[in-house]
Homo-oligomer: A and B are copies of this chain.
Amino acid sequence: MNNEEREREAGGRERELRGVEARPRNWLVPVILLSLREWNSYGYELMERASAFGFEAMNPGTLYRTLRQMEKDGIVESSWETSRGGPARRMYTITDTGRAYLDFWAKSLEQYQHTMDNFFRLYTGRPLQDKNDEESSE
């Protein structure tokens, strides 16, 4: 094996840079839970509310699929509402498990905010104590 030759494998650079959007994983789930904790709602309405949390150009499929999965997970419940004009709506309610889940999420989010604070502290140039600097910049 020749290690130095493998260095050439790194060609083909300058692709399009991938998504630089800072958005947490499963961010949609806590946003839906938070909305449902305020009042019961349905997909089409929740979609509009979610746009306030970074889902401005949300695809309906994503939301509806997420809602069905959340019901399977037991954090929301649903029932059809047909008592009014227009297409039937699947009305969602948050469960006790869902409230606990939301609380857990909030704690995790709080923790993560501290991690991001660390990131910014390093980014803006105020180092938290660490090992020796190779450039020895005084």
User: How many copies of the chain does the oligomer comprise?
Assistant: 2
Q: In whole angstroms, what is the CA distance A15 to B101 when docked?
A: 13
A14 contacts B111, C-beta separation under 8 Å: no
Residues of B within 8 A of A57 (CB): none
Q: How many residues of A contact B (CB 8 A)?
A: 68
In the complex, whether A133 has a CB less than 8 A from a CB of chain B is: yes
Most buried by B among A15, A39, A116: A116
| CB of A83 within 8 Å of the partner chain | no
A52, chain B: closest CB distance, angstroms: 7
Tell whether A47 is near chain B: CB-to-CB under 8 Å: no
A11 at the interface (CB under 8 A from B): yes
9 contacts between A and B (CB under 8 A): A4-B82, A10-B71, A10-B95, A15-B73, A20-B105, A20-B108, A24-B25, A34-B123, A38-B133
Is A12 interfacial (CB 8 A cutoff)?
yes
Residues of B within 8 A of A61 (CB): none
Q: Does B109 contact A116, Cβ atoms closer than 8 Å?
A: yes
Contact between chains at B120 and A13 (CB < 8 Å): no
Report A108-138 residues with CB < 8 Å from chain B CB: 108-113, 115-116, 118-120, 122-123, 127-128, 133-135
